[in-house]
Amino acid sequence: MTIRYGLAGMKAIVTGAASGIGLATAARLRVEGADVFGVDIAGDGGVLGIDVSAPGASEAIIAAALAQLGGLDILVCNAGISAYMALEGHDDAAWDNTLAINLTAVFRLVRAALPLLKASHQPRIITIGSVMSSYGDAGMAAYAASKHGVLGLTRSLATELGPFGITANCVMPGAVLTGITAPAFAANPEFETYWREKSPLKRIATPADIASVIAFLASDDARFVSGHGIHVDGAATAHP
């Protein structure tokens, strides 16, 4: 990786940091010079093992990060889940769990982190939405609702927290090849082909593609970018 944005001295929290986009983001921020505190339910690779939706999790994360980092400049809310479930027979527990992890946990973590972000000289909130932050699909009611919510929350944060110098942006990936999605693509080649061909760039995103955008948003170069949902999908949603 090439150093482009110079985040030396910055302190960051990345949730969902043990794999996929979160792992790539933590690695990219470290290359840029940031000190990174990783959080993941798996607790692998030296990250704090915690369910972000558990009662008191947000406060525990902030306390542990403060003890290790001594402050906070960059908050990357990446942890999330996705599952296909048709509306007929869709149970309340699956709905509640998806929104708890994908949306409510983001709200709680930002709220808990706010005093530290207000004390930062370059505070950044970066949430991870999805292309489904802007549309829906069959069988994805809970996921799409949660990701629409993340985008709306992020825009509200940008408006409310802007007077404190805090920027807030939502990164909205399309299909990304990760350890979790790779088996799904292998089991359903037509799904992989659909997303690869839908992008004019004719490929699936890598976690590093998403991490690069996050690194930019964390940097001083993005100091006047706030309140946006940024598609990182190779123009897959730019045409029918």
- Residue 3: pLDDT over 80: no
143 is catalytic: yes
The SS3 of residue 97 is helix
User: Rounded mean pLDDT of 115-127?
Assistant: 98
Which CATH number goes with the domain that contains 92?
A: 3.40.50.720
- Residue 136: pLDDT over 90: no
User: Rounded mean pLDDT of 219-238?
Assistant: 96
Q: Does residue 212 fall inside a structural domain? A: yes
User: Rounded mean pLDDT of 220-226?
Assistant: 97
User: In terms of residue numbers, what domain contains 38?
Assistant: 11-232
Element (H, E) at 145: helix 141-161
Q: Which of 5, 84, 135, 143 is catalytic?
A: 143
Model pLDDT, residue 191 = 83
Mean pLDDT (the chain) is: 93
- Residue 2: pLDDT over 80: no
- Residue 44: pLDDT over 90: no
Q: Does residue 100 fall inside a structural domain? A: yes
Q: Does residue 215 fall inside a structural domain? A: yes
Q: Does residue 126 fall inside a structural domain? A: yes
Q: Does residue 239 fall inside a structural domain? A: no
- Residue 213: pLDDT over 90: yes
User: Rounded mean pLDDT of 125-149?
Assistant: 91
56-95 residue pLDDT tens: 999 999 999 999 999 999 999 999 988 888 888 889 999 9
Task: Count how many domains the chain has.
Answer: 1
